Chain A
């Protein structure tokens, strides 16, 4: 049982909800916040039923940002827009990042712009931003699924890719597998 809390962005939810082992996230996070902006964006997808179930059970909590939080998110969007080398972000992922910064929540996103913010803007460098890759890595490293060998580990990542039509960059995938195996050896 974990006590980590996450805040999830639309692009993460739309892919993760298509994964047959999606409920494994309950073993990693004790609660997940969902912004109203994100709920509005997933409403018209097949993911909405899974999202509604999680809201009904109380695992997901709908979060309505205050005007102050929204202003801070707008400032982050503007800051990123002034840096031509960065990928643009919009209000939903900016809100996730500001919440991650203020509350220490893990930000779940597949948005490249959000990943770049944590990597390149000093003020946000402490924010933990996870893709599905990091969440799967955590599940595997803590043996929260029945995975004990390298081939089972590879199969977990490939299963996610196949079921969601999401692709992990090869180098990141190899690195993730190496890290998990090292953790297994150390435990």
Chain B
């Protein structure tokens, strides 16, 4: 179990790093709140449902915003 957890921690960290590296930070900085907060939350966590709620957008619309911000989904 501990080994599995360690592997998941490694995966989650790699996914966060990939999101961070690809993100268009200038685009993100230009977004009004709550979109900016939602994009930053998504980069940290990868949780699209909560991020979409922070953005007050339907999940599908938020997925489009991620594409505009060049933030990949990772899995």
Interface residues of A (CB under 8 A from B): 10-11, 14-15, 41-48, 85, 87-88, 90, 110-112, 115-116, 119-120, 131, 133, 161, 164-169
* A112-B15 in contact (CB<8A): yes
Known contacts A45-B61, A45-B64, A47-B60: does B73 contact A167 (CB below 8 Å)? yes
* B22-A167 in contact (CB<8A): yes
Contacts of A112 in B (CB 8 A): 11-12, 15, 46, 75
Taking CB atoms and an 8 Å cut-off, the chain B residues in 1-30 that contact chain A are 1, 4-5, 8, 11-12, 14-15, 18, 22
Tell me how many residue pairs across A and B have CB atoms closer than 8 Å.
Answer: 75
Q: Is B44 an interface residue, CB under 8 A from the partner?
A: no
**Chain B binding surface, main DSSP class:** helix
A84 to chain B, nearest CB (A): 11
Q: Is B36 an interface residue, CB under 8 A from the partner?
A: no
* B4-A119 in contact (CB<8A): yes
* A14-B47 in contact (CB<8A): no
Contacts of B63 in A (CB 8 A): 11, 14-15, 45
Give bound CA distance, A85 to B12, whole Å.
Answer: 12
Give bound CA distance, A159 to B71, whole Å.
Answer: 17
- 8 closest cross-chain pairs (CB), A and B: A45-B60, A167-B72, A110-B75, A44-B58, A44-B60, A167-B74, A14-B63, A166-B73
Which one of A41, A88, A165 lies within 8 Å of B59 (CB-CB)? A41
B1 to chain A, nearest CB (A): 8
